[in-house]
Amino acid sequence: MDSRPFLIDCLVDNVLIIPALFDTGCLPHSAFSSSLVNRANLPRIPINPRELKLAKNDPDSHPISDVTYVTLDINGRRQRLWGYIINDLHYDLILGKGWAEANDVVYEAAQRQLRIGTGAMQIRVR
């Protein structure tokens, strides 16, 4: 009943290649693991703390108090990417529903491919 994750190889700040998880179940724009932020020496910008909402009822508190940003390159398509910093995240980077909406992403599940953008700027990722 499980499926394989859809991972996209991304170049971060022209230095680090990481697999990013595409996840429409992640409602924020994007999420960065605190370990990636530390490893890549990314900036931590404080925000008013907010609670991370999980798909399950969870009595433990999961506050988010920082955001970060990178220059993200996917197959030559570059953009500034902002996201929440989350402790103990399984993936270094999650591209969420907000990112998909902002970038006009279409996920073709049977082909395991994404179309990102429109017109001449459109790219396909498998």
State pLDDT tens for residues 80-94.
Answer: 999 999 998 999 999
Q: What is the pLDDT of residue 122?
A: 52
Instruction: Give the burial string for 57-68 (b: 16+ CB within 10 Å, else e).
Output: eeeeeeebebbb
pLDDT digits (tens, 9 = 90+) for 3-13: 888 899 999 99
pLDDT digits (tens, 9 = 90+) for 45-96: 999 998 877 666 776 767 899 999 999 999 888 999 999 999 989 999 999 9
The distance of Cα 48 from the centroid of its chain, to the nearest Å, equals 21
> Strand order of the sheet with strand 123-125?
106-108, 113-116, 123-125
Domains in the chain with CATH codes: 7-125 (2.40.70.10)
Check residue 14 and report its DSSP letter.
T
**Residue 121: pLDDT over 70:** no
Alpha carbon dihedral 107, 113, 116, 119, in 10-degree steps, equals: -110
CA distances from 108 to 8, 15, 60, 105 (A): 14, 29, 35, 10
Q: Please report which confidence band the pLDDT of residue 119 belongs to, taking 50, 70 and 90 as the band edges.
A: low
The token pair at 79 is 């953009």
Q: What is the pLDDT of residue 63?
A: 85
